[in-house]
Structure 1
Amino acid sequence: MCFLKDISDYIRNGETTSQRLGLEIEHFIVDENGDQIKFDEISSLIEKVGNEIQASLHYIDGYVVGYNTDEYAISLEPSCQFEISISPYSDIKKIADVYRKFIALWEPIFTKRGYSIKTFGNLPKVELGIITPDDIPLSPKKRYEYMNRHFLKTGKYGKYMMRASASTQISIDYSSEEDMIRKIRLIQKLSPVFMILLESKTDENSTLKDAPDRPHLFRIQQWDDLDSDRTGFIPHSFDNDFGYDSLSNLIYSTSLILYPESDKTLYVADKSARDLFESLVIKEDDLSDKRKKQLIEHFISMGFFHLRVKTYIEIRVADSVPIDKALGYVALIKGLMYSKKNLDILEHALSDINSIEAINKAVDEIEKNGLNANIYHDKTAADWAEYIILLASNELDDEDKEYLKCVNYLE
């Protein structure tokens, strides 16, 4: 079971006194009819642009699917959602500058070809029922072929998630195991509020066909009915023994669907990392340190929980939103999670919310009633939003406070 310790050590090695923030935004690249760009076209563009700016190209199954620079990385999601992952910085202005350079590079390229860049939680034509996910092709990567095959068996919304959803993700640092545990629990408790603050729809009255009484949190509804073994809030995260080792065990035990081996991707269905080691598909003694790291990162990537721990905490509950709102979200997280004072206040204020069931009940109410939903302590989601924005504002400098205005629904 040495590999379990390797996973635990990998997470432990993320400990840092830095207080950085990473930002990822997935975009839809659509033509004048609202249809997404095709894989061959965008893959060719990524290769061309990547070479022109002397970036490091990223290949999967022989296709160019992204590139890396010192400041950010580009990647393609299952149906050509175009994602930027900005390197972590402590300065929100730096994050803003990197994103705007990325847009200045790519927007003219897409515009010249008749495309525009859109940020929504769901592809508008799917949200509005004009097309269904069946009308959208997947990128020709074995990873997505295998995921699609798996999710057809596990829930109703695998096709929606893969083909028609997009998100905004923020990553933050932790300084110790105790700090990680504290932040994960508080972020999960606040996640229902983050979800509704960062909701991004085309039509506020649209609903999923199977949920006519739930006009809010489309993307969350889809992810929550995708595959219960790998989605939702982190299992056992409110148990007394939760920490690096229990996270490692979760990562080691979650079914993998697929496994990258050399230059190919294998379908392993419900087998977990544990199964692959025990059956000697993976032989621990044969693994170099580099290969161990690659495997750990792959195992982590196959858990799609609302929060994910790598060598940082990845917060995955927000829809894809325009950059100004995304930066407001970054400022909100910064003001809450990098303030000991606010961590103490929130821990006290939410001390009786100590189960995933209680948080899911709040999500359920928000799906039906939005900001008016009564969630914790007879307060609405709007009340809690106003409260946490005020807390964050109290701990941010004047420059960062300005960003908060773009996430404040009262502004």
Structure 2
Amino acid sequence: MSAPPKSQGEPITSKAQLVEYFSSGSKPKSAWRIGTEHEKFVFDAKTLKPIPYEGPNGIGAILSGLTRFGWEAIEENGKIIALTKDGCSVSLEPGGQFELSGAPVESIHQTCAEVGNHLSQVKKIGAELGVGFLGMGFQPKWSRAETQWMPRTRYQIMRDYMPKRGKLGTDMMTRTCTVQVNLDFSDEADMVKKLRVSLALQPIATALFADSPFTEGKPNGFMSFRGQIWTDTDPDRSGPLPFAFEPGMSFERYADYLLDVPMYFVYRDGKYIDASGQSFRDFLNGKLPALPGETPTTADWSDHATTAFPDVRLKKFLEMRGADGGPWDRLCALPALWVGLLYDQTALDAAWDLCKDWTLEEREGLRLAVPKQALKAKFRNRTVRDIALEVVKIARYGLNARKSGDLAGADESGFINVLQTIADSGECPAEEKLKLFHGKWGGSVDPVFKEFAY
């Protein structure tokens, strides 16, 4: 999650500024970039237990160790809680999940090199400290009680509020990992079309990347338990945004939605102030109980935008949020999938043709079925695997059309091959791990920390 804002920005005096926050992200195609983020679990290599923040091999020590590679530390209350360098950042999720937020780059080749460089650095520090790193959608072994909370005030506020709105919110915060990509749009119409396509097809990505079949050492009955968690986290701020498919969808319509998402906090003078459940509309009118008489700034609005968790999130770009975390090759495959679908007009049109007649009920049914059944879920008279094969084909076309080559001349389409293999087989990554669990792993999840660690 985000580091504390560096400044409070400008005072907000009109709703137009809220809308402008989103519309200001519009860019010509030549300026479109790719920002890839991924999270990973950090574990003690000997005990396989979670790593606390404190201690000689704790999360704080890992962050401190990474500064040797030129990362600049960001502190809160005297503790390092994030790092920044060259447009990238490393931050902590509530349960100590390590997150790389990559710089905006032009190609999948660049984002994959960035991921590889980061993993090389954390593995070097990890080897010195006796810790490992694992990419999966849900923590396969640790209980809620075992999971270590990171020392950030905003997380404490969210931890107290989450159980009031859903049963699985604290699991989302502490025991899930994702890979996501942030992509640009040219104008409002382009944003709307990309938002609709990515919302409709997000369950297809969830199925292809499904990799969270275990809870506390046992099969949990799901392929993507992480996907299931989002159905019982907080109905006020998560979900498939059905209004996005209605006539008149716009930047302003999204701003109206966000105004009705209850707040978590306000950041002032280096501290997070609890405003959980309060209204940003009241804040605009100087009637926020947490800060009576004060009105918001653009930094407050930017902060608030990060506390909505729809399947696709609009900020000054679009965030694809449906995939489970996974191994190195799938960290590159996720941006390849969405760049292929959204950054070439012919591919975008084909993707919209694929899903434009899906009804609200069908989209919601697909979203609810995929966490349990993944590629084997039924849709109309076919399976999600059938749709995934079409989606991968369209994305490959879009990547080929970009003609973005590496030093050897290879284009970006090779990064999607791992998804082609999954779609061809009809088996998601979770099914592979379940076979191992019931076979050579002998009913234990412990081998996953060795065989699938970075």
Tell me, yes or no, whether TM beats 0.5. Answer: yes
**1:194 correspondence with 2:208:** no
Alignment match, 1:16: 27
Residues 1:285 and 1:36: Cα distance change in structure 2 (over 3 Å): closer
**Mapping 1:236-315, distance limit 5 Å:** 236-281=243-288, 292-315=297-320
- 1:334 pairs with 2:339: yes
* Equivalent residue for 2:371, pick from 348, 367, 374: 367
8 Å CA contact 2:192–2:249 kept in 1: the answer is yes
| Equivalent residues in 2 for 1:352-363, closer than 5 Å | 352-355=357-360, 357-363=361-367
Mapped partners of 2:318, 2:390: distance in 1: 23
How far the C-alpha of 1:188 sits from its partner, in A, is 0.9
Matched, 1:39 2:56: no
SS at match of 2:394: helix
Cα separation, partners in 2 of 1:283 and 1:181, compared to 1, 3 Å: farther
Separation (CA, whole Å) in 2 of partners of 1:364 and 1:372:
13
- The one-letter code matched in structure 2 to 1:239 is E
Asked whether the 8 Å contact 2:43–2:133 carries over to 1, the reply is yes
* Aligned counterparts, 1:157-168, within 5 A: 157-168=168-179
Native 8 Å contact 2:286 2:294 kept in 1: no
Shift of 1:19: 2.8
Q: Given that residues 213 and 222 in structure 2 are in contact (C-alpha distance below 8 angstroms), is that contact kept between their aligned partners in structure 1?
A: no
Query: Could you say which residue in structure 2 is the equivalent of 1:93?
Result: 109
Residue number in structure 2 paired with 1:211: none
Which ranges of structure 2 fall in alignment gaps of 5 or more residues? 1-11, 401-409, 426-454
Distance, in Å, in 2 between the alignment partners of 1:278 and 1:286 is: 7
User: What secondary structure is seen at the aligned counterpart in 2 of 1:236?
Assistant: helix
> Which residue pairs with 1:129 in the alignment?
none
Residues 278-322 of structure 1 deviation map (CA, whole Å, 9 limit, x = unaligned): 2444699977xxxx3321210101111111111100111111111
**Contact 1:336–1:342, Cα closer than 8 Å, also in 2:** yes
**CA distance in structure 2 between the partners assigned to 1:249 and 1:121 by the alignment:** 31
CA distance in 1, matches of 2:42, 2:69: 21
How far apart are the structure 1 equivalents of 2:242 and 2:385? 27
1:389 equivalent in alignment to 2:360:
no
Query: What residue identity is the alignment partner of 1:316?
Result: R
1:400 to 2:412 alignment: yes
The equivalent of 1:25 in structure 2 is: 38
Rounded Cα–Cα distance in structure 2 between residues aligned with 1:354 and 1:339:
25
Change over 3 Å in CA distance of 1:13–1:26 after alignment to 2: same
Contact 1:186 1:346 survives alignment (8 Å): yes
3-state DSSP class of the match of 2:313? strand
Distance 2:375 2:295 in 1: 53
CA contact 2:188–2:250 (8 Å) conserved in 1:
yes
Query: What displacement does 1:71 show?
Result: 4.5
CA distance in 2, matches of 1:383, 1:199: 16
AA aligned opposite 1:319: D
When normalised by structure 1's length, the TM-score is: 0.90
Q: Provide the secondary structure at the position in 1 that maps to 2:235.
A: coil
Superimposed CA distance per residue, residues 27-75 of structure 1 (whole angstroms, 9 cap, x where no aligned partner):
101113322211122123313432x334332223442111111152100
Question: 1:243-268, CA deviations, whole angstroms, 9 ceiling, x for partnerless residues?
Answer: 10011112222111222111111111
Matched residue of 2:36: which SS? strand
Q: Please give the alpha-carbon distance, in whole angstroms, between the structure 2 residues aligned to 1:43 and 1:156.
A: 30
Kept after mapping to 2: 8 A contact 1:34/1:124:
no
| Residues 230 and 61 of structure 1, relative CA distance in 2, 3 Å threshold | farther
Correspondence for 2:323 among 293, 297, 318:
318
Aligned to 2:381: 378
Q: Deviations over 1:332-382 (max 9, x none)?
A: 111111111122222222221142x3212012222332211112x422110
Equivalent pair of 2:105/2:111 in contact (CA under 8 Å): yes
Tell me if structure 1 keeps the 8 A contact 2:41–2:134: yes
Alpha-carbon deviation of 1:2?
3.7
Question: Are the equivalent residues in 1 in contact too, given 2:212–2:222 (CA < 8 A)?
Answer: no
Alpha-carbon spacing, 1:283–1:343, altered in 2? closer, same or farther (3 Å): farther
Deviation track 1:60-114 (CA, whole Å, cap 9, x = no partner) reads 3442111111152100110110000111212111111111111221201112221
More moved, 14-23 vs 380-389? 14-23
- Counterparts of 2:244 and 2:148 in 1: how far apart (Å)? 36
1:293 and 1:62, CA in 2 relative to 1: closer, same or farther beyond 3 A? farther
Consecutive unaligned residues of structure 1, counting only runs of 5 or more, are 127-131, 209-213
Q: How many residues align?
A: 394
Farther off after superposition, 32-41 or 383-392:
32-41
Q: Distance in 2 between matches of 1:156 and 1:88?
A: 35
Where does residue 112 of structure 1 map in the other structure? Answer: 128
Q: 1:227 aligns with which of 225, 234, 244?
A: 234
**Whole-Å separation in 1 of the counterparts to 2:173 and 2:244:** 27
Give the distance between the partners of 2:75 and 2:362, measured in 1 at CA: 42
Confirm or deny: 8 A CA contact 1:252 1:273 kept in the other structure. Answer: yes
- Quote the residue 2:433 is aligned against: none
Q: CA RMSD in A?
A: 2.2
Amino acid in structure 1 at the alignment position of 2:320:
I
Q: Which amino acid aligns with 2:225?
A: F
